[in-house]
Each structure stands twice: as structure tokens, then as C-alpha cells.
Structure 1
């Protein structure tokens, strides 16, 4: 079986890396297409999951418009999928690369498997453009791998056939457990700044990158972090996203602030190491909402809504939006003790076996298809 796996961002590598490993272990020939939406953010991830690239896109970072990026990625994928040699295309989540892969697979008549299917916020522009991308991928998909029962139910309400949907868990958990095993004993962080963090401060990790937060919302979130840094007992750690608009706002607000470390994009094992040492996390990222519960880490979600309501229902997450007062109050509450207030509940997004379930379902579907032919 020949399978085309497409990704272009750091979260996609993290979530599809375990799937690539499971596909190869099952005997599939895996062609990996890298669109290059993220460049520096991807450092080290290919090696971590043993991924060999078969095809690489070019020029995506230089293209400034979303429509231009979509067109360029689609064109470059077509040069590979147009040969119609592949049995399946696999994409993940809600990125421009995933949407382009879905459309290209559909137009070439190649079955599409969607990893992390069925996430919804209810409005097409939040988060932008990710919510639109998810729905586009759903329309083109043959198999929908939902991380939770709620995600499955979203798909069923939209008319997706039940026999095309499987609840498998989230592959982010697979990836995190793989990385955690790498840092379990005697791990030395790759970034010297991470290796030399003081041990007498309460670490508050922040990750901010959503387009809809750029401007006033991000200004308020950064203002909250600046206020928290002035408490003196906390150290704010913020890996700065390379988006130039976000970087400019972050540096302007926190560049000279004591008790704040603005970090380069972290290699994944360093990021997992920080999760293991943090007291809480302020984030607008979807992936972090899935990863942090494996450490029992409480999450403050700097968005007005989340397509991962399970994290809130399980008690790990709280929606604070860009409300400066709410962020300051909640971080102080979670750091007002002698030890991190970690939660004992199970991660609602899976047990680390999602990739195995995905591969089994793809192989079973192929056997049924061949038998019918």
C-alpha cells in the first residue's frame, strides 16, 4: 500500500509523526510531503519521529496571502498526486496544508483520511481560517478519525456516515508519550536557556499565535503577563512565534521586562520538558490543550471559545479570552501554593494508541475496497 502523508506546520509533524511510524511498521510505503508553512519551528521533529521527506514544497513562507499559500501548496501537491499512484492521502487538523491536501486528493480521486476530524467551534471565522479548513477537509474525506466522542457526534450531525467515522483518541498524546520517554531520565535540554532555568521560580509557560488575537486582544494578554512578572515569584516563559506581527507585539510589550524569558521556537523535547516543570500555561494553541493534561497541568485558554471543550469539561482548562483581570487572577490562584496544583484526572484526548487504531482502520478499509473490486 502506498500512502501520501502531507504536513507543513510544527503541530502537524507532532501529530502525524506517530502515524508515519505506525504506517511504516505495518508495511506501508509512505511518501511524506512537507509544504514548509513552518521552517524554524520544525527543527528536530523529523529526526524525533524518524521521518524521511519524499517531497518538499517551496516558496510558501514568502507568499504573504492565505489564498496564495493555498494555491501554491495545491499546485505542488498536484505534481505528486497527479500520477494517481497512491492508495490514500492522510492529512491532519485544520491547516492550509491539510485543506490543500484534501482538495487535491478529492480532485484526483484518491481516498482521504482525516486525522483529528470533527472539531468544531460553531462559527466559520473562529478560529480563522482553521474552522473553515476543518469543514472543507470533512467534505473531501473518506475516513474521519475523531479524537473524542464529541467530535464524532459533530460529524454525525453534519450528515457524515457513521461507518466512515472512528473514535481513536488524539495522536498528540501518542507523540507526547514518545517524547516524554526521551526525557524521563537525565534529559539535558537542547536550548541552554532552558537548561539553566532558575529552580526558585514558579514557571508560567505561555504560547500565543492565533491570528484573531493580533492587535488589542494580544496586547491585553501580554499586559497580563507583564503584570504577573512583576509579582517576583514567577518566571514567564514565552517561545515567540515567528509571525512578524506577533513577534513585534511580544517584543514591544515584554522585551525588557524582568522575570520574562522570550525564547526561540523550542525543539519538541525541550517543550515537553517545560510542560513537566510548569505550574500552569496560558495559551491560545489547540495542541497544547491536548498535551498539557498528560502532565496534570491546568490550562488557561486565551480564546473566547475552544473546539476542544473536553479539556474544560475534564477540569483541566478554563476559557479566559484576552481578559487581563481573569488571566492575572487565575495564574495567581494556580501559583498560590508551595507546589504546582496538578490535576489527577485522565487526559480526555487519549491513551497513546490513536496511531495504531488509525493504521488498522486504513488497512481494513483498503482490504474491503480491494475485495469489492
Structure 2
């Protein structure tokens, strides 16, 4: 009996970026078992429903007010019997989540090769993003297959001492997901939030700003500062409309209430949007303000300029391409960046393939088909790395 590939996910971003890979594995007739930790519960279930995916195994670890000290050991302990029962040939993870890091560690403990999708993203600062930067560095150390989204990611992996034989440049699977959903929107094969469509239709001759903010390192004073700048910009500019899908994290919701954003007429608060609604909004937005790496990638792929409210970005490619600007948590810098783009002479670029061409999943499948026996490959690649030291 052929051993399956175990695909492990736990959050909404993982669901978005692994859904095309899951379907590609199925179409290639490669045996796959999908295990979801449900580190994020409802948000991930919504994504899986959009892509018509049902997990084979659900660990259901999410609980109110969960933290890293809870998530790390419970995911590790619940994955052990999964690995013992499924006996996978390969464990595949994505990104930099706690789920991805712990699944990689569990596979390592079980002497099972690891494949890391979206490998090589770096800030080289363990404090930002926290804990994601540490997670992805740990995963790279443990991985046999590092599927890098960009050439910059390849360079980062080489800088970290990862053997070139373990690095594969494929593009980012987020562009695959984007291609699939964009096609469904344009052909009316997927339903869009009625309230969102009506709102956008009502914004005649107004500029639309998509605003999102949710990162852990932004909590407290940084997020408060950005909210205040967004609020002032909305009050000063009646010809703009800000759409803000509010993340369910209590820290975010508390600050939204404290800053009374719901009382500003041209700040439109929404519950977290389904993925197709987010892409519909991106397609209709004039500019994006975000601390989300995924949205930064999606915006660039659609040719939308993004203002990054972080101290640094781990996706410098869109900044270099002129499709993004990093302003940190500075009130004036954010205000001026919005003015410069919406009313100034900032160059507007068309969409770019800097994060991939929409077929990264197929490239990943091609690599897996080439190597076949993952256990033997893991040993050979490890020996190659040993000889190169």
C-alpha cells in the first residue's frame, strides 16, 4: 500500500494557500490525507467550504483565549497518534503558524520528511513578526523540501545554510487560490456578500480603501496609533470610503470600540469577510492599508498599491516593484502615504507575477513526482548537505 502525504493546516491563511495544493495532489492521483488542527475554527471552516474541501482528520484544538503555551503541546500530542495511524511518506505544511511549526517538529520526531510551502520568507528579527519568524526558521531547519515563493526567499534560505539541493523555486500558492477565486467571481460561479456589493455600488465617485490590521505585534499602542490616523483621514476626506473587516481577536475589537470607529460615517465596519468577498473587495478597492502578508501578496498580484502598517515587511518584493510602501506605525507617514497615492503622482503599476504565475501547485507536484521515495530522498539530500559543509 502506498503511503499517503499528510497535509496539515490549522488557520485561514493555511487553508487558502493549501487548498490548491490539496486539489492538485488529488488530480495527480497522489494519496493525500488532510489533517486540520483548527487552530482557527470558524474562519478556516469557511475557507474549506469555499474550496469544497473536507478534512479527513480534525484535531479541534481551538479554545477561547488560547495562547502559545496551550497550542504547542496540545497540537504535538494530538498529532502523534495521527502520524502513527496514517504512516505518511511526507508531512506537508505551509507558512509560519504554530500548527506548521509543531507539525514539522512532530514529523521530525517520527523521522518523517517535511515539505514546507512558502519557505524562505524572513525578517531576520525574532521579535517581528512574533512568533512567526521563529516558526518559519525552525520549519526550514527540519524540511527536506523547501518550496520557495520568490528568488528573494531562495536567497534567504541559502543565507540560513539550507542546502541548495533542498530548495525549489515554485512561486506562491496564494496566486493559485487567487486565480481560482477571481475566475469564479468573474463568471458568477460564486456568491458575493450582498451587503458588501450594495455598499461598493453605493460609493459613486468615491475612492475605496481596504483596511485590515490584526498582527500580534501590533496590539496595544501601535494599533491604536494606526486606528487614530485612519480615523483622522476619514474625517478629513469625505470623498473616500474605508472598508474595515474587523478581525475577531478581542484586542482588535476592543480598540475599535475605544476609538469609536463605528461612529465615523465613511468607515464601514464588517465582520471577517469570506475569502471570495475579500477578493471582490480587493478588485474594487483603490488602495490597501494592511499589516497582512497574505493581503500584501494578493494586492500586488492584482496590481493594487498597499501601504504596510508594520515596522518592516517580510515581502520586500512588492516594495521593490513599486506596489507597496512600508510606513510603520507612524500617524503622519500613513496619512501622507494615502494622500500621495490617492491625490499625488505616485506611479501606479499593473499587476505583476512577483509572487507567482498562479500555477505553483503544479510545480510542487512536479517536484514530488520527480523524487518519489521521500524517505530515501530525505537521506540523500541530508548526505548532500553534509558533504557541502
**TM-score normalised to structure 2 length:** 0.91
Counterpart check, 1:221 vs 2:210: no
Q: Is the 8 A contact 2:203 2:241 kept in 1?
A: no
Partner of 1:363: 369
Partner of 1:330: 337
Query: Moved runs in structure 1, 4+ residues, more than 3 A?
Result: 185-190, 367-373
* Further displaced range: 165-174 or 28-37: 28-37
Q: Is the 8 A contact 1:40 1:265 kept in 2?
A: no
Q: Is the 8 A contact 2:89 2:375 kept in 1?
A: no
Q: Residues 249-301 of structure 1, C-alpha deviation per residue, up to 9 Å, x if partnerless?
A: 12322122211111111111110000000011110001011111122100000
Matches within 5 A, 1:34-113: 34-62=36-64, 64-83=66-85, 85-113=87-115
Q: Distance in 1 between matches of 2:16 and 2:239?
A: 33
Aligned to 2:294, the other structure's residue is in SS state helix
Which of 316, 319, 326 pairs up with 2:326?
A: 319
Which of 198, 211, 214 pairs up with 1:209?
A: 214
Partner of 1:294: 301
Q: Is the 8 A contact 2:302 2:351 kept in 1?
A: no
Unmatched 5+ stretches in structure 2: 381-389
Displacement, 1:335? 2.1
Q: Distance in 1 between matches of 2:142 and 2:211?
A: 35
Q: Distance in 2 between matches of 1:234 and 1:189?
A: 26
Unmatched 5+ stretches in structure 1: none
Q: Is the 8 A contact 1:279 1:341 kept in 2?
A: no
Q: Is the 8 A contact 2:301 2:354 kept in 1?
A: no
Displacement, 1:343? 1.6
Matches within 5 A, 1:112-191: 112-186=114-188, 190-191=192-193
Q: Residues 103-141 of structure 1, C-alpha deviation per residue, up to 9 Å, x if partnerless?
A: 001001111000000111011111000000001111111
Displacement, 1:347? 2.9
* Further displaced range: 266-275 or 37-46: 37-46
Counterpart check, 1:236 vs 2:242: yes
Q: Distance in 2 between matches of 1:139 and 1:237?
A: 40
Q: Distance in 2 between matches of 1:122 and 1:170?
A: 20
Aligned to 1:350, the other structure's residue is in SS state coil
Higher helix share: 2
**TM-score normalised to structure 1 length:** 0.95
Counterpart check, 1:248 vs 2:250: no
* Further displaced range: 349-358 or 44-53: 44-53
Q: Is the 8 A contact 1:206 1:239 kept in 2?
A: yes
Q: Distance in 1 between matches of 2:184 and 2:362?
A: 20
Counterpart check, 1:353 vs 2:355: no
Change (3 A) 1:45 1:368: closer
Q: Distance in 2 between matches of 1:216 and 1:281?
A: 21
Which of 289, 293, 297 pairs up with 1:282?
A: 289
Aligned to 2:263, the other structure's residue is in SS state coil
Displacement, 1:34? 1.1
RMSD value, Cα:
2.1
Aligned to 1:52, the other structure's residue is in SS state coil
Counterpart check, 1:257 vs 2:259: no
* Further displaced range: 341-350 or 10-19: 341-350
Displacement, 1:185? 3.5
Q: Is the 8 A contact 1:87 1:110 kept in 2?
A: yes
Aligned to 1:349, the other structure's residue is in SS state coil
Q: Is the 8 A contact 1:34 1:55 kept in 2?
A: yes
Change (3 A) 1:51 1:345: closer
Partner of 2:316: 309
Q: Would you say how many aligned residue pairs link Structure 1 and Structure 2?
A: 372
